[in-house]
Chains A and B, each alone.
Chain A
Amino acid sequence: MEIAVKELLDYHSLEHPLKLKLVSGIRGIEKKITTNSINRPGLNLFGFYDNFVPERVQIFGRGEAAFLVKLVKEQNLENIKKFFTFDIPCCIFSHDFELPKDVKDISEAAGIPVLNTGMSTAMLIHNIEQFFAFEAAPRTTIHGVMIEVFGIGILLTGESGVGKSECALELIERGHRLISDDVVDIRLLPNNMLMGYGSKLIKHHMEIRGVGIINIAHLFGVGVVRESKQINMIIHLENWDENKQYDRLGLEDEYEEILGEKITRLVIPVQPGRNIPIIIETASMNYRLKTMGYHPAKEFNNMITSLIERGEEIY
């Protein structure tokens, strides 16, 4: 993980806001944060530096801030100066703390950015850890289309020209949602959830052969787009291969691994006359049924087996 302090300042999130403002030490704004844990520097301000990890973001709550004020009042600046001699990425104060002028000068001289936020310390720590977890999450990019169909996140893959975008367009027309066309950013979050995102630049744009680049949010409204979605299923589209056997029963699930996480995968052959969007809708509903505990293919098979065992007439 490597995040510049600048990125922390620029970070916007509805779920986990940080609302940081720069107080001093602009010179160090390019400093890199390399570890995803934080430190409360109470002990260190007191002069105790055993097991101190300066690479961590230093979070000052009300307690640390009050101690800092006390030190400044007593003009006992040695400990503060010593603290700022370490290679600290940045210090963050909660509760909109007003940094004393002396400390501001020390941080300016050391080139260590001091930030401040109106949030409570607990919220700040929670949100910053969420942000670090997100940034440190393993990631990859996949060529495909990500859509949400009946609440199920589906990653459509397949060769270029097989009709992924056209298929997604039809699904959007039917009221389902687009996350991203062509380039899907995937992150494995700490709870083992695979999340699909659109790239910042191209999000909600699509390329349809013969029409060109279109903006889905503008054409169909914001109701049919989403920023991110968990990937529940992969649907791979491929041109119908005469020599290949496709799944007829659906008794066994096939999986594909993304970032080490197993995801159900269906292979759907494409052929003129086959209405792929409806097949995808059906597959998605079937997936929901399975997660609710009903496996249609297995139930059907159980019924047949029990009938045969009992020797009853099926017809």
Chain B
Amino acid sequence: MKIELTVINKSGLHAKPASLIVETASRFKNTKINIIKNSSTINAKSILGILSLEANQGTSLVFEANGREENEALQALKNLFDLHFGELPGGKP
């Protein structure tokens, strides 16, 4: 299952949001979650992987989940993006 999410917060996917994504993805042990940006596919449970995407504001990422809890996992990740990782969309928290 796949969904596309767009980074809304101004500072992009820096260390803090990346760690929140990893934390969320790692809650679903039996589900494999990948993030796809252009030609690179990385594991959503890897913080360095997410940072290597260099995703800034406006970047859209495809989340692909496979496993028992794929729906729940993608929903949880979508919530995280919708709340701009707890930051204000315009700037710092």
Contact = CB atoms under 8 A, between A and B. Distances in A.
B48 A205 contact: yes
Interface centre among B39, B40, B48, B54 (most CB of A within 10 A): B48
A202 B48 contact: yes
B87 to A, nearest CB: 20
Interface string B41-60: 11101111101101000000
Q: How large is the interface on A (under 10, 10 to 19, 20 to 34, 35 or more residues)?
A: 10 to 19
B26 interface: yes
Contacts, number: 41
Contacts of B26: 160-161
B52 A202 contact: yes
Contacts of A202: 48, 51-52
Interface string B3-33: 0000000000001000000000010000000
B40 A181 contact: no
Given A160-B26, A161-B26, A201-B54, A182 B40 contact: no
Contact of B52 (A201, A206, A213): A201
A141 interface: yes
A44 interface: no
A195 interface: no
Contacts of A205: 48
Contacts of A161: 26, 45
A201 B41 CA distance: 15
A213 B47 CA distance: 9
A207 interface: yes
A161 B39 CA distance: 25
Contact of B43 (A139, A160, A181, A207): A160
Contacts of A207: 46-48
A199 interface: yes
Nearest to A139: B39
B47 A183 contact: no
A141 B36 CA distance: 11
B48 A181 contact: yes
A6 interface: no
Contacts of A160: 26, 43, 45-46
Contacts of B15: 213
A16 to B, nearest CB: 23
A207 B46 CA distance: 9
Interface string A2-29: 0000000000000000000000000000
Given A141-B40, A161-B26, A183 B48 contact: yes
B54 A183 contact: no
A206 B52 CA distance: 12
A160 B30 CA distance: 11
A102 B46 CA distance: 56
A143 interface: yes
B48 A141 contact: no
24 contacts: A141-B42, A143-B42, A143-B43, A143-B46, A143-B49, A160-B26, A160-B43, A161-B26, A182-B43, A182-B46, A182-B48, A182-B52, A183-B42, A183-B48, A183-B52, A199-B52, A201-B51, A202-B48, A202-B51, A202-B52, A205-B48, A206-B48, A213-B15, A213-B47
Given A143-B49, A183-B42, 13 more contacts: A143-B42, A160-B46, A181-B48, A182-B43, A182-B47, A182-B52, A183-B48, A183-B52, A199-B52, A201-B51, A202-B48, A207-B47, A213-B47
The list of the 10 closest CB pairs from A to B, nearest first, reads A160-B45, A182-B48, A143-B43, A199-B52, A182-B46, A202-B48, A183-B49, A202-B52, A201-B52, A141-B40
Interface of A: 139, 141, 143, 160-161, 181-183, 199, 201-202, 205-207, 213
Interface of B: 15, 26, 39-43, 45-49, 51-52, 54
